[in-house]
Structure 1
């Protein structure tokens, strides 16, 4: 009878180890759930960024106005017969 009690105690200890410490434990499951939430938030943010970029690409493919605006902002394009004025902020 004592050996049966010993086996049951060992079995209980092994099951407790799996529940609290080993891979697939409650702590491991909670950590994975937190990582999933973080990854879902990142994916959502990146999906929105991709949507905005896709709209911008489509606009650049179809409209010359957006190409001109980009050229003016990014590389300082000036049209013919246009005067360029640069306003500098005073140094503090």
Structure 2
């Protein structure tokens, strides 16, 4: 009977070792959870950046300011209350 108890105790210890040290152990799960937390923080930062870029794209697509700036640079747009000066190089 004592041999049976000894075998069971060794078996329980072996199961505990695998639980604490082996693959899929608590230590590995904790390490992976830390990596997940770091990755989630990085993803949140990148999502924020993507939202700002998306808002800028929408502004460029629908905003009159972007269209007006492009017309000024490429087409020479002048408003009513503005004065146009043309500088000619000799």
Compared CA separation, residues 15 and 64, structure 1 to 2 (3 A): same
Structure number with bigger Rg:
2
Which residues of structure 2 form unaligned runs of 5+?
77-83
Deviations 1:4-46 (A, max 9, x none): 0331122122221122112221211210110111011011101
Residue in structure 1 matched with residue 3 of structure 2 by the alignment: 3
1:18 match: 18
2:27 paired residue number: 27
TM-score (norm 2): 0.66
Q: State whether structure 2 residue 39 is matched by structure 1 residue 39.
A: yes
Consecutive unaligned residues of structure 1, counting only runs of 5 or more, are 70-76, 84-92
Please report the TM-score for the alignment, with normalisation by the length of structure 1.
Answer: 0.65
Give the total of aligned pairs: 78
CA distance in 2, matches of 1:18, 1:24: 8
